[in-house]
Amino acid sequence: MSFLSYFKTYKKFGVFFSILCIIIITIIYNILNVKPKLPVWNPVSVSEELVDSSIQHKAKYHTIADFSLTNQNGETVTQDTYKNKIYVADFFFTTCQTICPIMTDHMYKIQKEILNDDDVMLLSHSVTPKIDSVAQLKKYAKEKGVINRKWNLVTGDKKQIYELARKSYLAVKTDGNGDEYDMIHTENFLLIDKKRRIRGFYDGTQPEDIEKLLEDIETLKDES
């Protein structure tokens, strides 16, 4: 059999085999490049010092509790404000001169990145609600470039805010139930999914954590 005859005989097989190889390589590539899902955080999987003793045993179905607070425009903000939204939460106070300015700058960076993304919002809770009145939050929001439709700075009942921090967001080492000057203070940023579950913890003072947070937002969006 001549080479030309041999080539003609096996030409169809060669084409089929080549296509099959391409398909297999593509499938393997896609499998290897699938992003792993973000974990769902429950109290039992978080450091005990960050979790109120009443819920430390909880191993599943942990979600952010209902809440009702007031934002920088005097509007009521509840869990329904964030219904079907991915959001980033933190705890701050406007007169803080240590970690809060860094955290707020990083929140501003996140705001820039999600500005045209209707699925993602931000929520910052004041831990000194008596000081951080609506007027004070409004002033702070203007100074820091807060865009109202993307980012709520909220004040309200101190007990509710502190319970949210400790029992919902699992974000602080103290419940702040001492005298009026005893307050929680945490650098944690929390990534919350559309089902009100915690999907990530990040150090809000560290640029590399902010980059990771932005990447995880995209991963969470792919999951939704």
185 is in an annotated binding site: yes
- Between CA 175 and CA 50 the distance in angstroms is 9
- Between CA 104 and CA 220 the distance in angstroms is 23
The conformation of residue 206, written as its DSSP 8-state character, comes to -
> How many Cα atoms occupy the beta-carbon half-sphere of 51 within 13 Å?
16
Q: Do the Cβ atoms of 109 and 209 come closer than 8 Å?
A: no
Whether pLDDT at 203 is above 70:
yes
Whether pLDDT at 195 is above 80:
yes
Average pLDDT over the chain reads 87
Task: Specify which of 96-100, 171-175, 205-209 reaches the highest per-range mean pLDDT.
Answer: 205-209
Q: What is the reported pLDDT for 183?
A: 62
pTM of the predicted protein model = 0.82
Please report the DSSP string for 50-93 in residue order: GS-TTTTT--S---PPP-EEE-TTS-EEEGGGGTT-EEEEEEE-
Q: What is the reported pLDDT for 189?
A: 98
Please report the DSSP string for 92-112 in residue order: E-TT--SSHHHHHHHHHHHHH
Q: Please, what is the end-to-end C-alpha distance for the chain in angstroms? A: 59
- Between CA 193 and CA 195 the distance in angstroms is 5
- Between CA 178 and CA 183 the distance in angstroms is 8
Listed by start position, the domains of the chain span 1-34, 43-223
Confidence at 23, pLDDT banded by 50, 70, 90 = low
> How many Cα atoms occupy the beta-carbon half-sphere of 156 within 13 Å?
23
29 to each of 15, 18, 32, 38, 216, how far by Cα in Å? 21, 16, 5, 21, 21
The conformation of residue 194, written as its DSSP 8-state character, comes to T
96 is in an annotated binding site: yes
- pLDDT per residue over 31-49, tens digit each? 444 668 999 999 999 988 8
Assign domain 43-223 to its CATH architecture: 3-Layer(aba) Sandwich (3.40)
Q: What is the reported pLDDT for 95?
A: 95
In this structure, the strands spanning 120-126 and 86-92 are: parallel
What tokens does 208 get? Answer: 């590399």
